[in-house]
Structure 1
């Protein structure tokens, strides 16, 4: 698995870091097969390389396609869960707006406290999970709804609607926390990188006798593998890095963003 530092880099820095890493491996292979003993030994395998290159390239391409599709789907889910959490908060505010001014102010302060707790836990939820502060604020929301709307027929009707919206908020929150920790596994990264390395080796073997074609083939495949790894790495952590999902919809719904 790539180091965590890679995912916090700017997208341009991430791309060139991957390009440099893959490029150094390709350069090492190029120099290795320029060495006469290795070149002579690889000449016996050159006739097998076209078929092998096709198979390796196909398997690598399919692996990248499946993994990238999974990562993109997870990114879409992350965006939807954040928006769902914000929508639930707005629904609650609509119902509370029909109550007295004192009730509105009290509930608004509790929602703002929840939004501030979410903002504090955002950067660490992928590693640390839910924060105790945010969980406590969510319990305060449930307590406010259960205790503050228990008397009167109208209040009980509003209470049921608020509890439904609050349950939706809690569900979206749990989904967001789960998605934050659902990243590409070590085994998946190993599979893709190992297939990419195997493809570079097979290409080097197939062009062992011809330095210039070997250089061009390794350079072009280095760029292709780098782009494939970059696409996965740039979208692997939906809540980390320059392309991360922002807590702004939740903060805006709770009134924290306007402070």
Structure 2
């Protein structure tokens, strides 16, 4: 689905999705109404009403499978951001066991990483342009600093080991959020979802072709359900894009002061 739709606010996205779905329903209704001559009405009416629940169940399964992908990606993305923030918070706390100069340097590097993640990486993730090619400069330098740091006591040795582990966790969590920023429902799934919806709308229109008002009401109700499902999926489709997206709040909460 295109970027402009994902970047809309939820009310405007609802207008677009509902408008498109109702437009499809209207086209189906008008096409069947135009074809429903006296000669064809009997043939249309011969279609079994038992077809409707079958098509509805298939549509429901499409929605469930698509929504499961969206919820899973969103949940994993939120978890990755929380893991990164927790790991960086551990680095800040463990840095207290280091000499003052190294502690200040480490806190400054964590600050720089959070600042870059919020100002640079988040907008790139929203546009699905974030890449794993470039390593985070601040975290990479922090890792080199800690590894090359001479330890003078068992306590500093323990702190060094734990900081390295926490930095590795933060780097892995960052990789995960960058990968998950590319997640979205592909166009084939959207096509299949709406083709199945059109099949159901067509079946409703054909079965109720002799009752225009009843057909319009039934098709309107089903179209509303389709639009609601599509809106729910589209609003959460990309974890880091749109009004309902994952914000860098956990990282900002643990961001240390610039040393």
- Partner-residue secondary structure (3-state), 2:66: helix
TM-score, L = length of structure 1: 0.91
Cα distance between partner residues in 2 of 1:189 and 1:115: 36
Q: Count how many residue pairs are aligned between Structure 1 and Structure 2.
A: 256
Tell me by how many angstroms 1:37 deviates: 5.5
Tell whether the 8 Å contact from 2:81 to 2:177 is kept in structure 1 after alignment. yes
In structure 2, the residue matched to 1:224 is 225
Cα distance between partner residues in 2 of 1:101 and 1:207: 80
Tell me by how many angstroms 1:99 deviates: 2.4
Unaligned runs of 5+ in 2: none
Cα distance between partner residues in 1 of 2:233 and 2:34: 34
- Partner-residue secondary structure (3-state), 1:127: coil
Q: What does residue range 1-259 of structure 1 map to in structure 2 within 5 Å?
A: 2-36=1-35, 40-41=39-40, 43-119=42-118, 120-125=120-125, 127-130=128-131, 135-149=136-150, 152-255=153-256
Unaligned runs of 5+ in 1: none
Superposition CA RMSD, Å: 2.1
Cα distance between partner residues in 2 of 1:40 and 1:17: 38
| CA offset digits 1:200-248 (Å, max 9, x no partner) | 1111111112111111011111101001111111111111111100012
Cα distance between partner residues in 1 of 2:225 and 2:150: 60
- Partner-residue secondary structure (3-state), 1:181: coil
Cα distance between partner residues in 2 of 1:135 and 1:98: 24
Distance 1:38 1:183, change over 3 A: farther
Tell whether the 8 Å contact from 2:47 to 2:206 is kept in structure 1 after alignment. no
| CA offset digits 1:22-41 (Å, max 9, x no partner) | 11111112222221556753
Cα distance between partner residues in 2 of 1:40 and 1:241: 51
TM-score, L = length of structure 2: 0.91
Distance 1:169 1:254, change over 3 A: same
Tell whether the 8 Å contact from 1:117 to 1:133 is kept in structure 2 after alignment. no
Tell me by how many angstroms 1:186 deviates: 2.0
- Partner-residue secondary structure (3-state), 1:245: coil
Cα distance between partner residues in 2 of 1:245 and 1:215: 39
